[in-house]
Structure 1
Amino acid sequence: MDTTRSYWNGKKAVHRRTMMKGAGYCDCDIRNKPHIGVANTFMEGSPGTAHLRTLTEKIKQGIWEAGGIPVEFGVPATCGNVANGAPELKYEQAARDIVAASIEFVAKVHNFDGLVTVASCDNIIAGCYLAMARLDLPALCVTGGSMTAGLYKGEKMVQAQLDVAALSVDDEEVLSEMEECVCPSFGACPSMGTANTMQMTGEILNLVWPGTGTIPSIDNLKLRKCSEAGRAIVKMTIEDRKPSVLMTRETFMNAIAFAMATAASTNIVLHLIAIANELGIKITLDDFDHYADKIPCITGVIPSGPYTVVDFHYAGGPLTVMKMIEKEIYTDVPTMDGRTWKDLLANIEAKSSDIIRTLDNPLFNEPGLKILKGNLSPTGSIVRPTGVPAEMKQFSGKAKVFSSDMESWDAIERGEIKPGDVIVIRYEGCVGAPGMTELMSSTDALLAKGLDKSVGLISDARFSGFNYGAIVGHVTPEAAKGGLIALIEEGDIITVDTVKGTINLEVPEEIIAERRKNWVCPEPKVKTGLLAIYAENCRPADEGGAMQPWDIDFK
């Protein structure tokens, strides 16, 4: 922190002080107190963001109390479920970079001394983390928490279950009844989707205060912790405790270990790599493979088990998971509150349950995430083994090739997909989509039709954290970059082994070479606007998929 307050004092700052005074701030506050930006991703159109104004007011109250001056500003936010099944879903990955750029822009112009981000959902919270690392100001994220599960006729129901039900229930009145039940409170959808994955992982990355990431939105402890967060960021700012100090390579390795133990959303791979890049820390898919061989999934949150994130929180949350995997993580690295992980975990009493187990008694004898490589994806693709039915741990079948989620969905609905088929959805990666489409319609349809135990799916796109099945995403190189997935033809044999970590096209090399000579990249699906800019500047999925420079000086 600039203790001289040079940006806000002296004759050259007259215009700045004038603007702040015009907005209602007092001269003594402007000149003397640390300015804390409060980036609020509030948006009325989603339960994940519609309550963030209330949380933000508590944070600002805490900042004032601790001697800081809060400056709230808005950040664009969306809800991925709104675009589910529509072409607009491809915006979600690019939106992460827009969120980061929006926060960067405001924080730089207003020369904040510290930063609080307030976020709940998917790529929005990932974008906040990206900005926090990029700006390298003392920074803290307050999460919006998880919603509770809905109750339909006495049974728990979450959004992912409704999505599948909508494909098999024809009665509009029944669907309407389900809709009324499924989102009973504010907060992120209560499964291990991208939203809750990122809220939890924020604690491990030292971007969310320990023990607060999964506090449910309905628990008023959330409000009290918001006030504490406001006070904490002022102290962090005065002490100049920023991401480059708190986020080391070992911190990211701990986050990867946590992802394995919790069967995190596959999107965490994109986000951790991109966030690390901002700090000049090189994280690769090989780092995920390192822990895939060591840490099985020990948590039973939907879709890996029957429990919600609310259940997970009251069973101990992220800190209990870290206690359970303590022997496999780096414990000498710092936490946000000034202690090391060793010191923090010394005070955690972890009790094994069906929601969070020990490493010696895991829910699955396999990791939460697995990297697959082979001729179809020499640089790596992603699967969530805990969501793959036992019958499909190894599968081989004939390719059915499509260029979009909806094309595939239509074929499933028409009965054209049969047991033993392998659906290929291509030209939906970072460049091809552009924006890296999140596939949900086809995977939901496979479940609804009872094909999840007999049909595989591979793609250069990504998946929602809700998804379940023998589905492999992030195939790189992607089709639009000439990856082998672009050369697959109808009826080709594809073999995937989620245990050994392999994915291959069973076609002779000479035939592949002939196809490559004749391959012509299709015209871009989008040629103007944000998505065209993203396609022109993004890194490949195995490098995080973000709009970042290529000449990073990695530590």
Structure 2
Amino acid sequence: MTAKRSDAITQGFERTPHRALLKGTGLPDSSMNRPFIGIATSFTDLIPGHTGMRELERFIEKGVHTGGGHAFFFGIPGVCDGIAMGHKGMHYSLPTRELIADMIESVAEAHRLDGLVLLTNCDKITPGMLMAAARLDIPCIVVTAGPMMTGTGRQGRRFSFVTDTFEAMARYKAGVIDEKELMQCEEHACPTAGSCQGLFTANTMAILTETLGMSLLGCGTALAVSSLKKRIAFASGERIVELVRDNITPRQILTKAAFENAIRVDLALGGSSNTVLHLLSIAREAGVDLPLEEFDRLGRTTPQLASMNPGGKHFMEDLDAAGGVAAVLYQLRDLIQDNPTLTGLSTQQIIASVADVDEEVVHPVSDPIRAEGGLAILSGNLAPDGAVVKQSGVSEKMMRFSGKARCFESEEAAMTALMGGQVVAGDVVVIRYEGPKGGPGMREMLAPTATLMGLGLGDSVALITDGRFSGGTRGPCIGHVSPEAAVGGPIALVEDGDTIELDIPNRALKLQVDDVVLAERRARWSRPEPKIKTGWLARYAAVVTSANTGAICKAD
């Protein structure tokens, strides 16, 4: 093996103080020349997806030492989007992605680590870790901790987090279910450790991490409570030492082809709309040009092959049993580009190794769920720089819709109106000043979207926002409207009663107001006072970019 990064703190008489400090941690002389492997762990007692990580840490550490390296743990924070939802806490969720990338960069560079195992699971933590891997470009491998199992009920009922908490809350409010059933939902919705059971953001990002080639085979879908996940953790510890010795780094894996493959898998499964933000940001760190329009270009030729919860019937445990990511790649084989992965196999070699696919869960291209992929990029005079809709969760009836605007300056105001019965069929709910700058932090709004569905308005009311949605969102909900209201985007100029037209097949989002009238409104518009003026979020709002560029932080 050639010179290691860690030689800068272990070699030569000038490094006597450094070695003394390392010995102070308990490092023996026998490990001084081994590859130093950092294990960035986002373990926390606060998030169900992360509570099981202590065991995975043990297996990763065993693998590192078996492979001939020496492991060092360091902690990375995590936010549970479900717990942060619907209050001030959600302002902090997306911004933590930047903090996570910065923290990993800081620790790895300050301590000259030779390689990293990135132990992650939930929504912003996985993309933050991938951003750090691409930025550092030192050997890295990602271990996603895996999804939880569905809850079980009578007569084969399966419970899951979003439909049996957020949507159940609205059904209770509407009198569809009673308090006893609501409490059953609360008890059974999250029965084990792991990320939430459907194809929400955490699980979508785990799948895309494997598709990108940054985690071992099966890691993206293996259940958090499975022994397979432990074996993958051990093998990942062994593999990182090999990656260091062979100097295989993320930018060799994260090519334009890798990102296009990941987008196609995302589209085929009908994944979370948040992946648009995250893939754009990871690509930027990897030095790959990935414009927003790529999602729509690929979506036109990538069929949706799976019916995944929350918009469909299957859960992560079903996808795992059906063959996982490899099965999806196999079904998309004629659309997938060959690309290296850190497993040592190329994508086409992985496809060639697939022996069986459960086609009830992952359909063949010849028998798709829908002809187009799960995400669509819309544009028009209401969203000149684009907007995102998870069309896999939209009914055929709502693919084209025209309604009257009901404008709200915050998520809280919209929720008050929804729960008070003030939103009716034919309305288009507009929630603005919730973008990256205006929020700040581009809050995820699962509560309003789940409330719409729970109140039975999913086929008669649309929702449009410069904020974003949970991966658990379904229905005619259009997010990431760019430019956002806080910078004077057209969404800031909408008034109650304006007609808004949604045409997903033609990728159009239009405000039916004359340009002259809009110009008059713009002349009257003034930038509102920031919602948060102190602390980290005030600094974030000053440097964050628009959603159509991934909501990244730039100093210039």
- TM-score exceeds 0.5: yes
Report the equivalent of 2:501. 495
Give how far 1:2 is off. Answer: 2.6
Contact preservation (8 Å) 2:163, 2:310: no
CA deviation map 1:84-131 (0-9, x unaligned) = 211211211101111111111111111100000101111111111111
Hey, what's the Cα distance between the residues in 2 that align with 1:128 and 1:418? 42
Give how far 1:36 is off. Answer: 0.4
**1:303-452 matches, cutoff 5 A:** 303-331=310-338, 333-452=339-458
Report the equivalent of 2:228. 221
Report the equivalent of 2:532. 526
AA aligned opposite 1:255: A
Report the equivalent of 2:67. 66
Secondary structure in structure 2 of the residue aligned to 1:128 = helix
Contact preservation (8 Å) 1:43, 1:78: no
Hey, what's the Cα distance between the residues in 2 that align with 1:188 and 1:75? 17
Secondary structure in structure 1 of the residue aligned to 2:40 = strand
Q: Are residue 302 (structure 1) and residue 303 (structure 2) matched?
A: no
**1:128-207 matches, cutoff 5 A:** 128-154=129-155, 155-162=157-164, 163-169=166-172, 171-207=178-214
Contact preservation (8 Å) 2:9, 2:19: no
Hey, what's the Cα distance between the residues in 2 that align with 1:164 and 1:479? 28
Contact preservation (8 Å) 1:406, 1:441: no
AA aligned opposite 2:314: Y
Distance 1:304 1:365, change over 3 A: farther
AA aligned opposite 1:8: T
Contact preservation (8 Å) 2:169, 2:451: no
Q: Are residue 476 (structure 1) and residue 482 (structure 2) matched?
A: yes
Gaps of 5+ in 2: none
Hey, what's the Cα distance between the residues in 2 that align with 1:192 and 1:492? 34
**Count, aligned residues:** 548
AA aligned opposite 2:351: L
Secondary structure in structure 2 of the residue aligned to 1:191 = coil
Contact preservation (8 Å) 1:210, 1:336: no
Contact preservation (8 Å) 1:352, 1:358: no
Q: Are residue 458 (structure 1) and residue 464 (structure 2) matched?
A: yes
Give how far 1:153 is off. Answer: 3.2
Moved more, 423-432 or 347-356: 347-356
Hey, what's the Cα distance between the residues in 2 that align with 1:53 and 1:2? 32
AA aligned opposite 2:267: M
Report the equivalent of 1:18. 20
CA deviation map 1:311-343 (0-9, x unaligned) = 101101111101111111212x21112232122
AA aligned opposite 2:423: I
Give how far 1:307 is off. Answer: 0.9
Distance 1:318 1:498, change over 3 A: same
Hey, what's the Cα distance between the residues in 1 that align with 2:552 and 2:356? 37
The two structures have a TM-score, normalised by structure 1, of: 0.97
Give how far 1:499 is off. Answer: 0.9
Hey, what's the Cα distance between the residues in 2 that align with 1:104 and 1:530? 19
Q: Are residue 88 (structure 1) and residue 95 (structure 2) matched?
A: no
CA deviation map 1:7-59 (0-9, x unaligned) = 311122222211211111102312x1000000000000221000111101100
AA aligned opposite 1:290: R
Q: Are residue 212 (structure 1) and residue 219 (structure 2) matched?
A: yes
Contact preservation (8 Å) 2:206, 2:219: no
Give how far 1:345 is off. Answer: 1.2
CA deviation map 1:486-542 (0-9, x unaligned) = 000010000011111000100001000111111101001011111111111112111
Report the equivalent of 1:553. none
Hey, what's the Cα distance between the residues in 2 that align with 1:398 and 1:152? 41
Secondary structure in structure 2 of the residue aligned to 1:412 = helix
Hey, what's the Cα distance between the residues in 2 that align with 1:41 and 1:500? 42
Distance 1:513 1:141, change over 3 A: same
AA aligned opposite 1:252: F
Hey, what's the Cα distance between the residues in 2 that align with 1:143 and 1:157? 23
AA aligned opposite 1:29: S
CA deviation map 1:116-152 (0-9, x unaligned) = 0101111111111111111111000111111000123
Contact preservation (8 Å) 1:366, 1:385: no
Q: Are residue 43 (structure 1) and residue 44 (structure 2) matched?
A: yes
Report the equivalent of 2:10. 8
AA aligned opposite 1:50: T
Hey, what's the Cα distance between the residues in 1 that align with 2:18 and 2:200? 42
Secondary structure in structure 1 of the residue aligned to 2:328 = helix
Report the equivalent of 2:248. 241
Give how far 1:243 is off. Answer: 0.8
AA aligned opposite 1:297: Q
CA deviation map 1:444-479 (0-9, x unaligned) = 111111011000010000000000110000000000
Give how far 1:352 is off. Answer: 4.6
